[in-house]
């Protein structure tokens, strides 16, 4: 059996040191059956294992016949109607799979084969949840807007029809929350606060945004969400996990922890490369660094996409990111990118909101991801463009 696993959610023996958080999520999720559930914000930087934690919760809920978990990755969903379509299908498919109620799915398939006018004429004769599902599908075909509100109500309708409950997992909710704005978030809050058959887990890698969502008095979710935060793994946990799987010395283990930053994804990635390159051989510092270089090469396209995404928003963001591994003080960054220091705080605020930069102390910043930081630092010295007065978001 492979000693390391990456690239998709990890469960079982690969799941590292998140048992306490899993227990907390499980207890909160089970509360939906007696009305004691609390909608939850799961907050942590990318690669800290949020998605893996949710998949382990899904596994633990398998034995509970009344609770149906629904997982939707919100990252990059282009429109609210796409969100509506994806969420509606996830809810339907999760219900059918968990309950083995194949007839429910077959009835929907049969009705969808009919003409729109015929479907609408039969809505009063069929189950409320199926009628609700069909109205969403017809609305999507006709190009109606704001159907995502109906999609959020669909699971509640099934719950009432079938006497079941749902745990709705909106992974990387921060991505759509930030893009679609405060009014979108307010309307979500207004819908889910009245539901008794559903509880929600909203995750986000945009740590500052998610923290504000819970703690800011102006947020629709102020003090309305139970909060679970995922940090980097403790060094002793990483050392134990890696040391049990590789022939590696103490100094090499220290270096392994340092370069991965205790992030679960990097721990698995680097361990995987070392195991497949060197197998049972003793891992020297040279071999460790060789494997790390390969990991950086493998991540290059992903890191380039990250950098390009910020450049598309404004080249100033890209310039700041490229400067940070070399200059942490805001005064030096401003000098490096030829930009007035007074203009930088708003850019920094956005970069912190999305979780790519964190503040060490007053006027001092760094990239949150140590491996991304190394990759940026190894780039050839960028050609900085003069400040052209671009305005931050």
Q: What's the number of domains the chain is made of?
A: 3
Q: How far is CA 39 from CA 51, 87, 201, 227, 320, in A?
A: 17, 18, 6, 9, 36
* Model pLDDT for residues 100-159, shown as the tens digit of each residue: 999 999 999 988 888 777 766 766 668 899 999 999 998 998 888 889 999 999 999 999
Q: CATH no. for residue 330?
A: 1.10.10.10
Q: How far is the C-alpha of 306 from the C-alpha of 320, rounded, in Å? A: 13
Model confidence band, residue 392 (pLDDT cutoffs 50, 70, 90)? low
Here the tokens at position 269 are 């990635």
Residue with tokens 């890191």: 303
Q: Please check whether residue 385 lies inside any domain of the structure.
A: no
What pLDDT, on a 0 to 100 scale, did the predictor assign at position 373?
96
Q: How far is CA 15 from CA 70, 198, 241, 249, 253, in A?
A: 21, 27, 10, 23, 19
Clarify whether residues 257 and 355 are in a common domain.
Answer: no
Clarify whether residues 207 and 265 are in a common domain.
Answer: no
Q: Please check whether residue 137 lies inside any domain of the structure.
A: yes
Q: How far is the C-alpha of 41 from the C-alpha of 176, rounded, in Å? A: 15
Q: Which of 301, 332, 356 is the last residue of a domain?
A: 301
Please return the burial class of 113, using the count of CB atoms within 10 Å of its CB with bins 0-12, 13-18 and 19+.
Answer: exposed
Clarify whether residues 46 and 159 are in a common domain.
Answer: yes
Clarify whether residues 119 and 257 are in a common domain.
Answer: no
pTM here? 0.88
Q: Please check whether residue 10 lies inside any domain of the structure.
A: no
Please return the burial class of 124, using the count of CB atoms within 10 Å of its CB with bins 0-12, 13-18 and 19+.
Answer: exposed
CA angle 282, 283, 285 (to 5 degrees): 135
What pLDDT, on a 0 to 100 scale, did the predictor assign at position 117?
72
Residue with tokens 């809810």: 91
Structural domain span for residue 275: 235-301
Is pLDDT above 80 for 387?
no
What pLDDT, on a 0 to 100 scale, did the predictor assign at position 210?
95
Clarify whether residues 211 and 174 are in a common domain.
Answer: yes
What pLDDT, on a 0 to 100 scale, did the predictor assign at position 318?
95
Clarify whether residues 207 and 259 are in a common domain.
Answer: no
* Model pLDDT for residues 11-33, shown as the tens digit of each residue: 877 788 889 999 999 999 999 99
What pLDDT, on a 0 to 100 scale, did the predictor assign at position 122?
65
Clarify whether residues 56 and 203 are in a common domain.
Answer: yes
* Model pLDDT for residues 158-193, shown as the tens digit of each residue: 999 999 999 999 999 999 999 999 999 999 999 999
Q: Please check whether residue 263 lies inside any domain of the structure.
A: yes
Q: Please check whether residue 39 lies inside any domain of the structure.
A: yes
Clarify whether residues 24 and 66 are in a common domain.
Answer: yes
Q: CATH no. for residue 196?
A: 3.40.50.300
Clarify whether residues 242 and 356 are in a common domain.
Answer: no
* Model pLDDT for residues 253-310, shown as the tens digit of each residue: 999 999 999 999 999 999 999 999 999 899 999 999 999 999 999 999 999 999 999 9
Q: Beta strand pairing status for 40-44 and 364-367?
A: unpaired
Q: Which of 180, 202, 230 is the last residue of a domain?
A: 230
Contacts of 199 (CB under 8 A, 6+ apart): 28, 29, 31, 32, 37, 38, 39, 40, 165, 166, 167, 168
What pLDDT, on a 0 to 100 scale, did the predictor assign at position 171?
97
- The more confident residue out of 120 and 326 is 326
Nearest residue to 179 (alpha-carbon basis) of 162, 204, 154: 204
Are the C-beta atoms of 138 and 120 separated by less than 8 Å? yes
Is pLDDT above 80 for 386?
no
Is pLDDT above 80 for 245?
yes
Clarify whether residues 128 and 261 are in a common domain.
Answer: no
* Model pLDDT for residues 81-100, shown as the tens digit of each residue: 999 999 999 999 999 999 99
Model confidence band, residue 241 (pLDDT cutoffs 50, 70, 90)? very high
Is pLDDT above 50 for 324?
yes
* Model pLDDT for residues 197-207, shown as the tens digit of each residue: 999 999 999 99
Query: Ramachandran region of residue 12, left (φ > 0), alpha (ψ -120 to 50) or beta?
Result: left
Q: Please check whether residue 295 lies inside any domain of the structure.
A: yes
| Structure-derived torsion over alpha carbons of residues 13, 19, 21, 22, reported in degrees to the nearest 10 | 70
Clarify whether residues 212 and 289 are in a common domain.
Answer: no
Model confidence band, residue 1 (pLDDT cutoffs 50, 70, 90)? confident
What pLDDT, on a 0 to 100 scale, did the predictor assign at position 123?
65
Clarify whether residues 172 and 261 are in a common domain.
Answer: no
Contacts of 213 (CB under 8 A, 6+ apart): 41, 174, 177, 185, 202, 204, 219, 221, 225
What DSSP state is assigned to residue 141? H
Q: How far is the C-alpha of 25 from the C-alpha of 39, rounded, in Å? A: 10
Q: Please check whether residue 9 lies inside any domain of the structure.
A: no
Are the C-beta atoms of 84 and 136 separated by less than 8 Å? yes
Provide the 10 A C-beta neighbour count for residue 187. Answer: 16
What pLDDT, on a 0 to 100 scale, did the predictor assign at position 384?
42
What pLDDT, on a 0 to 100 scale, did the predictor assign at position 151?
97
Compute the radius of gyration of the chain from its Cα atoms. Answer: 24
Q: Which of 179, 209, 230 is the last residue of a domain?
A: 230
Is pLDDT above 80 for 73?
yes
């Amino acid at each position: 059996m492979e000693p390391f696993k990456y690239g998709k959610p990890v469960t079982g023996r690969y799941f590292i040191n998140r048992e306490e958080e899993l227990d907390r999520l499980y207890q909160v999720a089970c509360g939906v059956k007696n009305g004691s559930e609390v909608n939850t914000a799961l907050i942590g930087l990318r690669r800290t294992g949020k998605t893996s934690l949710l998949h382990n919760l899904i596994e633990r809920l398998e034995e509970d016949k009344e609770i149906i978990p629904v997982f939707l990755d919100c990252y990059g969903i282009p429109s609210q109607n796409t969100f509506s379509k994806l969420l509606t299908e996830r809810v339907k498919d999760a219900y059918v799979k968990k309950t083995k109620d194949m007839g429910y799915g077959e009835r929907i398939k049969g009705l969808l084969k009919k003409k729109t006018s015929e479907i609408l004429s039969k809505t009063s004769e069929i189950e409320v949840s199926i009628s609700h599902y069909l109205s969403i599908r017809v609305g999507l075909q006709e190009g109606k807007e704001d159907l995502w509100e109906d999609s959020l109500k669909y699971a509640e309708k099934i719950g009432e029809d079938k006497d079941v409950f749902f745990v709705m997992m909106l992974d990387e909710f921060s991505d759509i929350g930030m893009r679609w704005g405060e009014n979108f978030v307010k309307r979500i809050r207004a819908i889910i606060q009245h539901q008794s058959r559903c509880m929600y887990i909203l995750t986000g890698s945009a740590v500052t945004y998610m923290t504000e969502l819970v703690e800011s008095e102006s947020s629709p979710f102020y003090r309305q969400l139970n909060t679970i935060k995922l940090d980097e793994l403790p060094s002793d946990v990483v050392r134990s996990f890696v040391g049990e799987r590789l022939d590696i010395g103490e100094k090499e283990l220290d270096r392994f922890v340092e370069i991965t930053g205790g992030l679960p994804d990097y721990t698995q990635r680097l361990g995987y490369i070392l195991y497949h390159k060197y197998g049972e051989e003793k891992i020297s510092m040279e071999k460790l660094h060789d494997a790390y270089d390969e990991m950086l090469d493998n991540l290059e396209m992903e890191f380039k996409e990250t950098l390009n995404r910020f450049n598309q928003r404004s080249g100033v963001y890209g310039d700041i990111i490229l400067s940070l591994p070399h200059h942490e003080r805001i005064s030096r960054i401003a000098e490096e990118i030829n930009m007035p220091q007074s203009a930088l705080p708003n850019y920094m605020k956005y970069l912190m909101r999305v979780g790519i930069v964190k503040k060490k102390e007053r006027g001092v910043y760094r990239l949150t991801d140590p491996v991304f930081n190394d990759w940026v630092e190894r780039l050839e010295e960028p050609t900085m463009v003069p400040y052209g007065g671009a305005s931050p978001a």
